[in-house]
Amino acid sequence: MSTQQQEPESQESPQDPEMKGTESPQQRRLREKQEGMVEDQAEKETEVEGETVHLKVFRYDPEVADKQEPRFDDFHVPFEKGMTVLDAVMYARDEFDSSLTFRHSCRQAVCGSDAFFVNGKQRLGCKTQISDLQQPVRIEPLPHQEVVKDLVVDMDHFYDQMHAVEPYFQNDDTPDSSDLEEQRQSRENREKVKMSTRCIWCGACMSSCNIAAGDNEYLGPAAINKAYKFAMDDREPEDVKEHRLRILEQEHGVWRCQTQFSCTDVCPKDIPLTEHIQELKREAVKKNLKFW
Amino acid sequence: MYEHDVIVVGAGGAGLRAAIAANEAGADTAIVSKLHPVRSHTGAAEGGINAALQEGDDWELHAYDTMKGSDYLADAPAVETLAQDAPEDTITLEHWGMPFSREDDGRVSQRPFGGLSYPRTTYAGAETGHHLLHTMYEQVVKRGIQVYDEWYVMNLATTDEDDPNDRQCEGVVAYDVQSGTVEGFKANQSVILATGGPGQAFDHTTNAVSCTGDGHAMAYRAGAPLEDMEFIQFHPTSLPSTGVLISEGVRGEGGILYNNEGERFMFEHGYANNSGELASRDVVARAELTEVNEGRGIEDEYVHLDMRHLGEERIMDRLENILHLAEDFEGVDGLIEPMPVKPGQHYAMGGIEVDENGQTCVNGLYAAGECACVSVHGGNRLGGNALPELIVFGKRAGRHAAGEDLGEPEIRTGYGDDVEDEDDTELPVAPGAAGLDSSDAVADGGVAAETGTLERAVERERERVDRLMERDEGVQHAEIRAKLQKAMTDYVNVFRTEDGIKKALKIIRECREEYQNVYVDDPSRTFNTDLQHTIETRNLIDVAETIALGALVRNEFRGAHWRQENQIRDDENWLKHTLVSWDDGAPDIFYRPVILEGQDKTYEPKVRSY
């Protein structure tokens, strides 16, 4: 189903009653997808004038015969100033192939849905300008995660790791909220945790990490950063902080990190992930916790 | 079949807060959401949370500002509840660890915002919504509340009594996006809709692509009226190619708007001789579009917002994130060139009609957040009032849905003896399902027998999915959606005329007819977003129609709603809410008087000037 391969005969085949009399439309489409002859993108594409962007997009669907073996489809979409990778795949989906599947929602780098592997690097589709990329633009799902379909990966493992660090504020001794009394926090302390709070759970860091790729139990940069946010927040009491460090210094915790900075490099929110992990290692040493 | 006491649909700010409250009230609570909670659009809110926390401020001032900002179309009991509950509910977020910005003494910071008489907007950097969303999701994880994420709720299971006020919502039908399985979710006590805004009814919006008005459409078809849908806030500075919002802060710092002739049109063309670029959102949005309509726009589409004269130092200090937004989403460097901006749909003041406890007229059915209309925003929402609405009314809905007694509400819902029927306005086409083959007008409020309501609803939705998947040819949803969005932006936008709105209604009717032949091309059951978007498009058609109907009947200029034929606020005739009820496919329009009487005082309508 490349946009390059035009097969005009495919327009005829649905009318052939002889062969396909007994199959349902859904079965027919499944078969046609399998035979790779249903698309007419090439036709549409020739209508497009002016500058176009050449995309090579990863395709896979466990249910559709010719997509069970992963492949790349070519799309040529008209370029507009300001066009992002997300704009380009949305155009390809809406104009050429409505089965092209990817997560996306806010289009402004806060929902964290659309981390893809673009030209060999983990990036947010909505935050990546096409004009900054070499063509053809190669768009793949995040590596090291199971692919559900096309650009959609299974995020369950990522979420499990995020949940494993007790990712919620713990202080049993807060003032009575009906007195409208807040916990005090210094500006400096708020500034210290600021970058860590910007995480949007996109999973780019985890996908880029060699250690996480080899050790499935490694908490990974995002979860450790989540723990950092709480551990460094002065509003949590000392005993909770110690409890957090014990979670982090376990076998698959902070000591697994080999400071390759790949996570920091790909983070779309510029969070200094590696530095946060290093700082937690130092805290663990200070607390005389064992390390692996 | 899944079964819980309280089912919350949607996992943004209102949904998470409702779930936490229901869980704390002892109910077995589950959240069903088409997105993982942290993907919800609450995360995009920048501004802050209005709450009268400081000495010198008090809830009565907050209530007064909100009533005035609403252009006297908000209900005082709702507004006073918001203002009274917001302080404690905001402090609760702090106790949950939300990283608020701080003062030197360690207390949470508050800043001034448009339309407020006191600096009461509590904030966490310029990403308050992100922190609000994540902090509440952390509390959901802590409490072990069950989350069914990437389950798309397709419809409600509601009993079929003639009068919606007698109906009971017994659960929801949802479809697992990952596997394509359709399942029932039985709600032993109640269902709370917290599905956010309907911004995708317009083709240029600051809203996420997920904001498709699903809850609005489902509640509407189940018999709960939609209220004040014509009131849509358009933000004057969104980026043209994506709709990404450029904060009001740029103009607050001194940013200037220019047309294609380099004129500072806010002054030079007399739109706002006193406040210029800092006039209220609706005034600036109308000015920009007038410039474009009169041929003074750039590329006939937008105007320029220039902040270069502020200097790099000041920009980097206060507006750094704006540089990133312009660069990342428009490819423009705000330090060396002006930024293109145009008005974008931003917020829906109206929604599913509910009382102060979040309850609709359908028993067991609640709504909270942007999808609901209590109403606290009336004709115009003040900046910083959306987030407190989520936490205050999310919490109240959760508690009440779980059986807590919050007292008798003062706001009435549904058709009753206090409403006034609309029978004067001539409609250009029949709205609703009227005349369409009912087997194709799927999910039309479809009400089943007394027993097995949920089972039958599940069966109906399975058939609906099969039908969409089996259908072989016709039109694809993207085409219908684009046509609908364009009609809304062309004719039900900032400027509204009777003729234009009627054109929109005709096009909406065409969309509804074309939808009879919609088909899903993707044959796979695995993560079929084509199918999901097709169902969403049906919801958008219903919601867009209610917006246009409201805009047509309300012949006055109030808050964000402007009508060419009557450019004044007409208090004599229009101190009332517009309600549209699906009425089994033949929409019915009626009005309910606004409540201006608060607990201690009456909010007399005054001129809304700042």
**Which pLDDT does position B373 carry in this prediction?**
98
**Which pLDDT does position B251 carry in this prediction?**
86
User: What is the C-alpha separation between B195 and B348, in angstroms, rounded?
Assistant: 12
Among residues A211, A117, A126, A115, the alpha carbon closest in space to that of A161 is found at: A211
Chain A residues in contact with B527 (beta carbon < 8 A): 101, 148-150, 152
List all residues of chain B from 130 to 149 with a beta carbon under 8 Å from chain A.
Answer: 130-131, 134-135, 138-139, 141-142
From B178's Cα to the closest Cα of chain A, the distance in A is: 8
- Pinpoint the alpha helices (H) of A96-215: 156-163, 187-194, 204-208, 210-214
* Mean pLDDT score, A46-60: 82
**Pick from A178, A185, A198: CB nearest B88:** A178
User: What is the C-alpha separation between A2 and A36, in angstroms, rounded?
Assistant: 9
- Which is it for strands B232-238 and B420-421: parallel, antiparallel or unpaired? unpaired
Distances (CA, A) of B330 to A83, A246, B342: 7, 45, 13
Q: Which domains are present in chain B?
A: 2-232+347-421 (3.50.50.60), 235-343 (3.90.700.10), 453-569 (1.20.58.100)
What three-state secondary structure class fits B391?
helix
**Which pLDDT does position A81 carry in this prediction?**
82
Task: Render the burial of B140-172: b for 16+ CB within 10 Å, e for the rest.
Answer: bbeeebebbbbbbbbbbbbbbeeebbebbbbbb
Interface test with B, best of A13, A44, A101, A108 (most B CBs within 10 A): A108
**Which pLDDT does position A24 carry in this prediction?**
62
User: In this structure, are residues B367 and B194 in contact, taking their beta carbons and an 8 Å threshold?
Assistant: yes
Phi, psi angle pair for B145, to nearest 5°: -70, 130
- Catalytic annotation, pick one of B17, B120, B251, B281: B281
B281 in catalytic set: yes
For A156-171+187-286, CATH gives 1.10.1060.10
What is the enclosing helix (H) or strand (E) of B122?
A: strand B121-122
Chain B residues in contact with A230 (beta carbon < 8 A): 97
Chain A residues in contact with B529 (beta carbon < 8 A): 101-102
From A214's Cα to the closest Cα of chain B, the distance in A is: 26
Confidence band for A290, pLDDT divided at 50, 70 and 90: low
Count of H helices and E strands in chain B? 16, 20
Residues 6 or more apart whose CB falls under 8 angstroms from that of B554 comprise B230, B561, B563, B574, B578
Every domain of chain A and the residues it spans:
8-152, 156-171+187-286
- Which is it for strands B169-176 and B182-193: parallel, antiparallel or unpaired? antiparallel
Partner-chain contact A182 B525, CB within 8 Å: no
Partner-chain contact B329 A126, CB within 8 Å: yes
From B43's Cα to the closest Cα of chain A, the distance in A is: 6
CA B134 to chain centroid: 20
**Which pLDDT does position A45 carry in this prediction?**
43
Chain B residues in contact with A159 (beta carbon < 8 A): 36
List all residues of chain B from 530 to 589 with a beta carbon under 8 Å from chain A.
Answer: 530
DSSP label at residue B208 = -
**Which pLDDT does position B446 carry in this prediction?**
47
Q: What is the mean pLDDT of chain A?
A: 86
Interface test with A, best of B524, B530, B532, B536 (most A CBs within 10 A): B524
pLDDT at A34 > cutoff 60: no
Partner-chain contact A33 B523, CB within 8 Å: yes
* Residue B96 contacts A where some CB pair is shorter than 8 Å: yes
> What is the helix, strand, coil percentage profile of chain A, to 5?
45, 10, 45
What three-state secondary structure class fits B174?
strand
User: What is the C-alpha separation between A84 and B327, in angstroms, rounded?
Assistant: 11
For residue B180, the chain A residue with the least C-alpha distance is A63
* pTM for this model (two decimals): 0.92
* Residue B239 contacts A where some CB pair is shorter than 8 Å: yes
For residue B529, the chain A residue with the least C-alpha distance is A101
Chain A residues in contact with B95 (beta carbon < 8 A): 169, 171, 174-175, 177, 182-183
Work out how many CB contacts closer than 8 A connect A with B.
Answer: 196
pLDDT in tens, A232-285: 999 999 999 999 999 999 889 999 999 999 999 999 999 999 999 999 999 988
Q: Give the position of tokens 């673009």.
A: A118
**Which pLDDT does position A14 carry in this prediction?**
37
Assembly ipTM:
0.93
* Mean pLDDT score, A92-105: 97
**Pick from A87, A149, A171: CB nearest B526:** A149
* Mean pLDDT score, A109-131: 96
pLDDT in tens, A139-148: 999 999 999 9
**Which pLDDT does position A2 carry in this prediction?**
38
pLDDT at A190 > cutoff 70: yes
For residue A192, the chain B residue with the least C-alpha distance is B99
DSSP states of B506-559 as a string? Answer: HHHHHHHHHHTTB------STT-HHHHHHHHHHHHHHHHHHHHHHHHH--S-BT
- The CATH number of domain A8-152, selected from 3.40.50.10490, 2.170.150.70, 3.30.70.20, 3.10.20.30: 3.10.20.30
- Which is it for strands A137-140 and B146-149: parallel, antiparallel or unpaired? unpaired
DSSP label at residue B197 = -
- Please list the rounded mean pLDDT of every run of 10 residues in chain B (610 residues): 97 98 98 98 92 95 95 98 97 97 94 85 91 98 98 95 95 96 97 98 96 98 97 94 85 91 95 84 90 95 96 84 87 94 96 98 98 96 94 98 96 96 90 68 45 88 92 93 97 96 98 95 96 97 98 96 95 97 92 97 86
Partner-chain contact B470 A24, CB within 8 Å: yes
Residue type at A24 in one-letter notation:
S
Count of H helices and E strands in chain A? 12, 7
**Which pLDDT does position A61 carry in this prediction?**
97
Residue type at B386 in one-letter notation:
A
Chain B residues in contact with A235 (beta carbon < 8 A): 97
User: In this structure, are residues B327 and B333 in contact, taking their beta carbons and an 8 Å threshold?
Assistant: yes
Chain B residues in contact with A268 (beta carbon < 8 A): none
User: What is the C-alpha separation between B31 and B137, in angstroms, rounded?
Assistant: 11
* Residue B474 contacts A where some CB pair is shorter than 8 Å: no
- Which is it for strands B121-122 and B146-149: parallel, antiparallel or unpaired? unpaired
Residues 6 or more apart whose CB falls under 8 angstroms from that of A111 comprise A104, A105, A200, B35, B38, B39, B40, B41, B43, B44, B208
User: In this structure, are residues B151 and B34 in contact, taking their beta carbons and an 8 Å threshold?
Assistant: yes
pLDDT in tens, B157-187: 999 899 999 999 999 999 999 999 999 999 9
* Residue B470 contacts A where some CB pair is shorter than 8 Å: yes
**Which pLDDT does position A16 carry in this prediction?**
39
